[in-house]
Structure 1
Amino acid sequence: MIRVVLDTNVVLSALLFTSGRLAWIRRAWQHKQLLPLVCTETVCELLRVLAYPKFKLTAEERQHLLQDFLPYTEVVELPLPWPTLPRCRDEKDQVFLVITYIGQAEALITGDGDLLAMRNESPVLIVTPEEWESQQSSCPNC
């Protein structure tokens, strides 16, 4: 199983759009091909975003979505203070770099422009979902 960090928008897309372009990510964690790493901060953000009025999800629907994600994850405890890493322009995204680094994940999979802009200075691999999928399909034993 490949340890990865998925940013909140990637998780949301995989959960909410079961036939969408990121549905393969959901199948990958369900079939134990990917092991998403989470921490208190990233789960709290996911909970907050799932409650946005624009998604029109009931508490029961949110619970169901969480039940299709959280059991497939591994919780990583982040140290205090966080390690010194390059700073993300959006400080709320820093946690994704930290958890990828501390959890020794293979990659941070994101579509976030601020995180993607850090690729050259980051000690962790930062890729888009499309880049990850392409890399995995071209090298199935990687």
Structure 2
Amino acid sequence: MGKKKVLVSHKRAVLDTNVVVSALLFRGEPSHLHTLWKKKAFTIVASREIVKEYVRVLAYPKFKLTEKEIKDIIQEELLPYIEPVSVTGELHGICIDPNDDKFLVCAEASKADVIVSGDAHLLSLKKYKGCPIVTVEKFLKKFR
């Protein structure tokens, strides 16, 4: 008897930068996210500030990507699957790391269903204004 597909309750997700970079560049658990967003199993919601951070981190020397490779990754593997979110306000001081606040602002502005993160500071919040903050593993369980 085959496994039953579970109905997915998380259709719109804010993905933190490390999750996106891991999904795009490495094998393992996060790479399944890349496959799922390309199949449109869920939609990534991201603000301009978040996309800029994705680009900035992909440009880290340790990844050894050329400008063209980064541009191709962003234009072919990411942007077609992102629902852009306009963020009008700023939030400061919710997370221990103020750089993480942008993910909370985006989730609130977009009314996202979930924030997916590997960041201990974000995960420690568990929820922000009704939006659960979960690990990649927990998010992926919804698709099995």
User: TM-score range, shorter-chain basis?
Assistant: 0.7 to 0.9
TM-score w.r.t. the length of structure 2 is: 0.86
The aligned counterpart of 1:28 is 36
Q: How many residues align?
A: 133
TM-score w.r.t. the length of structure 1 is: 0.87
Residue 46 in 1 paired to residue 54 in 2?
yes
Runs of 4+, deviation exceeding 3 Å: none
The aligned counterpart of 1:9 is 18
> Matched residues in 2 for 1:134 and 1:68: separation?
23
Q: Does structure 2 conserve the Cα–Cα contact (< 8 Å) formed by 1:35 and 1:72?
A: yes
The aligned counterpart of 2:6 is none
Q: Does structure 1 conserve the Cα–Cα contact (< 8 Å) formed by 2:29 and 2:136?
A: no
The aligned counterpart of 2:123 is 116
Q: Deviations over 1:53-86 (max 9, x none)?
A: 111101111112112111110100001x33x687
Aligned-residue CA RMSD (Å): 1.7
Offset at residue 119 of structure 1 (A): 1.2
Supply the AA of the counterpart residue of 2:108. Y
Q: Tell me, what secondary structure is at the counterpart of 1:38?
A: strand
Offset at residue 103 of structure 1 (A): 0.5
> Matched residues in 1 for 2:104 and 2:56: separation?
20
Offset at residue 135 of structure 1 (A): 3.5
> Of 71, 84, 95, which aligns to 1:75?
84
Supply the AA of the counterpart residue of 1:113. A
Q: Does structure 2 conserve the Cα–Cα contact (< 8 Å) formed by 1:110 and 1:116?
A: yes
> Matched residues in 2 for 1:88 and 1:13: separation?
22
> Matched residues in 2 for 1:53 and 1:136: separation?
34
Supply the AA of the counterpart residue of 1:52. Y
> Matched residues in 1 for 2:57 and 2:38: separation?
22
> Matched residues in 1 for 2:111 and 2:92: separation?
14
